[in-house]
């Protein structure tokens, strides 16, 4: 149990376009989901906390107008990278907090390459 999926697993897009990444909790409900970014050979950095039915909370230095987060249901959160640039190329990982045990379960990640 406690499986989190992400789609797509990898995406290549052109500079200036927008990309949407989905994060789903498959067998549990998650009021709270988290989005992290990981650059090559670096650690995970929390970008934002996504709350079902309310606005996301962004970490300092993360542009909320560039990284749009929508948490429309208890099993789905989406991250849209708007007007992507090459410096947005990174590995994006989501996690979902189970309402049952309050543990965070991590998705497999999405590798974004902006050309």
What is the contact surface with other proteins in residues (CB under 8 A)? 34, 38, 41-46, 49, 57, 91, 93, 95, 103-106, 108-109, 111
Nearer to other proteins, 1 or 14 (CB): 1
For 8, list phi and psi in degrees, rounded to 5: -80, 170
Nearer to other proteins, 57 or 80 (CB): 57
DSSP, res 97: E
CA distance 5 to 106: 8
How do the residues of the chain divide into helix, strand and coil, expressed in percent and rounded to 5? 5, 55, 45
Nearer to other proteins, 10 or 15 (CB): 10
CA distance 101 to 27: 13
């Amino acid at each position: 149990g406690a499986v989190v999926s992400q789609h797509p697993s990898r995406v290549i897009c052109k500079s200036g376009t927008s990309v949407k990444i989905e994060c789903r909790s498959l067998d549990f409900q998650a009021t709270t989901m988290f989005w992290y970014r990981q650059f090559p050979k670096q650690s995970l950095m929390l970008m934002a906390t996504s709350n079902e039915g309310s606005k996301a909370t962004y970490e300092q230095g993360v542009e909320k107008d560039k990284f749009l987060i929508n948490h429309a249901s208890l099993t789905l959160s989406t991250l849209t990278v708007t007007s992507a640039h090459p410096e947005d190329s990174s590995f994006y990982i989501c996690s979902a907090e189970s309402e049952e045990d309050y543990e965070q379960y991590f998705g497999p990640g999405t590798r974004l390459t902006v050309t």
